[in-house]
Amino acid sequence: MSTLVAVYGTLKRGLSNNHYLQAATYLGSDTLHTISLYDLGPYPGAKAEPSSGVEVEVFSVTAQQLQALDVLEEYEPEAPARGLYDRRLFNTRHGAAWVYLYNPPVPGLVPILAGGWQPLG
C-alpha cells in the first residue's frame, strides 16, 4: 500500500535529498494555500499558515520510504511535538498527502508566501 507525501524543499526533484525519493512515484506538482515556508538556510521549514500558494511535488511512497523520510526529517511518531518536524495530511490535487511541518518557532524569519524555496548557490 502506498502513501502520498508532498515535498517543498531539498526532497524536490533535482535537489540534494531527492535521492530519498528516487524509487518513489512522482505524481506531479500542486500549489498549497494552507502552508507557508521559512528559509532556514540549508533547507526550508513549513508552517500550517495561509499563503498565496506554495509549490509542492507529490510522490507516492511505500511504508519503508515514508519511514526513511521520517528519520531524515527527525519526526518522532511517539511524540511528534518533540521532533524537528511533525507531519500532517493536507489535501492536494493528487489526494491527501503528508507534509512535514517545522516544529520550532520561527521568530524574525520572513515567510515565503508564494512560489517555492530555492537553495543558495
Q: Is 57 a catalytic residue?
A: no
Q: Where do the DSSP E strands lie in the chain?
A: 3-7, 25-32, 36-39, 44-47, 53-61, 85-92, 95-102, 111-112, 114-115
C-alpha separations of 87 from 72, 84, 90, 93, 98 in Å: 12, 10, 10, 18, 6
Catalytic residue from among 49, 55, 73, 76: 73
Active site residues: 73
